Structure 1
Amino acid sequence: MTINILEALNVRVVGNGEKYVVLAHGFGTDQSAWMKILPYFMSSYRIVLYDLVCAGSVNPDYFDFRRYTSLEAYVDDLLHILDALRVEKCAYVGHSVSAMIGILASIRRPNLFSKLILLGASPRFLNDSDYHGGFEHGEIDKVFTAMKANYEAWVSGYAPLAVGADVPTAVREFSRTLFNMRPDISLFVCQTVFTSDLRGYLGLVRVPCVIIQTAKDVSVPLKVANYLKTHLGGRTTVELLNTEGHLPHLSAPAVLVPVLRRALTR
């Protein structure tokens, strides 16, 4: 990327603490997804926020379809950002796909991360002979077909399912950021995420991990959290949230904040 990555990906550093915390959003959102969480951590941490290159808040011209064919390119972006900010050590909170980006980044640069907090993480969404990821190939193909056929209709159906709980404001907010994405970029990223399999990397992680998982998540079955705990190489704990959905930072911030605080101070 010859462009200034800090400008291109809307990087911001907020808060008054000594220690750095990175908040990395998942597919279909942008950094605004953390707005309900931020106030609780501003006094204790320096918080790094940025937008994934696929987010609707980023100029779509920066999305290179040849480059972003795997999560490694997103890992490059994250490490470029932290190097540009001269961050030497940080805790990393990654939601959904960004949880996996954090895992890969920590394998490359273990000394950069004090801990990984993985919110709604999945190393593979597709079921396998001995692995329950939650989706069959046919179901995923139907998702891609629906996204191609009528993106707006797909968003209107998907957003309430993903939010899971009956929180209309969260559904509206998730719909807004999904609609902000250019449909072809959204489909491409969705295909990249749903066809990736990072199970083989988990044992290489040496950084302590905290897995945060809701009681019911349409995208990530509980079995996946247990799989991560068993297979991650670092010291790993699982925190179950007594709420539903894939986006608790949007739908249940009051439930998430104390667990996040505990995970960061542990």
Structure 2
Amino acid sequence: MVMLKSLSSSMNAKISGTGTGDEVIVLAHGYGGEQSFWEKIVPCLEEKHQVLLFDWNFSGACSDKLQDNGHTFDPIKYGSLDAFADDLVTLMDEMNIKSCVFVGHSMSGMIGCIASIKRPQLFNKLILIGASPRYINSEDYEGGFEASDIEQLLSTIESNYQPWATAFAPIAVGGKDSLLAEKFERSLKKMKPEIALAVAKIIFLGDYRHVLDKVETPCTIISTTNDVVVPSSVPYYMQKNMINSKSKVEIIDVDGHFPHLTAHNEVLNVISKVIDS
């Protein structure tokens, strides 16, 4: 019988910082990312708090280690965001975290919401950056894309992943900092194309709107003024449909889907305000 190594080891999880309280700040990256995407905000957070960083198993930052440890990405197991939420809860248990402020970027926003429903006592506050419960438009909802747009997107990822990553990165990051776009491009290209496609299907074909009214944890939704991935109406839709009246929306005046890279001081201000409230 082969014993699996810990999930935390496979996911490159580590806790840093000088905080002494029970509450930990958990930072979860999104699609195509890795934990280094938080590098601009971690030093400031570490001054007062303990911070948990990790890489999701689809990230190119831990694919080889997953193979060695027996925690490879299985498209059948990971057919929805629920499996990632289970991993998040397991990871926090392994790291002996009893309570956290969870900060989730993009797909991790909804993963955090689902995990908070499974284990509400673990999550004191949720901060969602560029999150969306649904990307496809319908009669009563603006997700940002028509079904045909998503079909074309997935087809391109499947047939021309590397060129797609090169084209998508600067559009998604926004702004004029080519180094940040190149950082996202490199991270995207570290993902195995078949895994990138499988995770893209989970994200862009999924519908998690039904989750919103089950989220009882106070939630702050951070959006930018011009995000090509998530329309400006989505954070307000999420706020309206969340059961907790304490949920709020914070708009940061910057382009793109990665404000923690392109406007990190503004993101830090929001996180600090949430923690202190």
Name which of 160, 163, 175 aligns with 1:153. Answer: 163
- 1:75-133 CA deviation, whole Å, 9 max, x = no partner? 11100111111111111000000000000001111111110001001000110110000
CA distance in 1, matches of 2:186, 2:260: 16
Name which of 211, 219, 223 aligns with 1:201. Answer: 211
Quote the offset at 1:264 in angstroms. 2.2
Quote the offset at 1:3 in angstroms. 3.3
- Counterpart mapping for 1:182-261 below 5 A: 182-234=192-244, 235-261=246-272
Partner of 2:39: 35
CA distance in 2, matches of 1:152, 1:90: 36
- Counterpart mapping for 1:134-153 below 5 A: 134-153=144-163
Q: Does 2:86 align with 1:76?
A: yes
Partner of 1:101: 111
Q: Does 2:29 align with 1:25?
A: yes
Q: Which range is displaced more, 169-178 or 2-11? A: 2-11
Partner of 2:54: 50
**Unaligned stretches of 5+ in structure 2?**
none
Quote the offset at 1:33 in angstroms. 0.5
The residue type paired with residue 15 of structure 1 is G
The residue type paired with residue 273 of structure 2 is R
Moved over 3 A (4+): none
Percentage identity across paired residues of the two chains: 39
Q: Does 2:186 align with 1:176?
A: yes
Name which of 1, 15, 18 aligns with 1:16. Answer: 18
**Do 1:212 and 1:239's aligned partners in 2 also have CA atoms closer than 8 Å?**
yes
Quote the offset at 1:2 in angstroms. 3.5
Q: Does 2:274 align with 1:263?
A: yes
The residue type paired with residue 7 of structure 1 is S
Quote the offset at 1:4 in angstroms. 1.3
Please state whether the residue corresponding to 1:41 is helix, strand or coil.
Answer: helix
CA distance in 1, matches of 2:150, 2:48: 41
Aligned residues: 266
- 1:167-224 CA deviation, whole Å, 9 max, x = no partner? 1111011001001100110011001111111111111111100010001100101100
CA distance in 2, matches of 1:244, 1:261: 22
Partner of 2:63: 59
**Do 1:210 and 1:237's aligned partners in 2 also have CA atoms closer than 8 Å?**
yes
Partner of 1:166: 176
CA RMSD of aligned residues (A): 1.2
**Do 1:243 and 1:255's aligned partners in 2 also have CA atoms closer than 8 Å?**
no
The residue type paired with residue 251 of structure 2 is L
CA distance in 2, matches of 1:111, 1:254: 29
Q: Does 2:125 align with 1:121?
A: no
The residue type paired with residue 229 of structure 1 is Q
Q: Which range is displaced more, 116-125 or 1-10? A: 1-10
Name which of 4, 18, 25 aligns with 1:2. Answer: 4
**Unaligned stretches of 5+ in structure 1?**
none
CA distance in 1, matches of 2:7, 2:253: 37
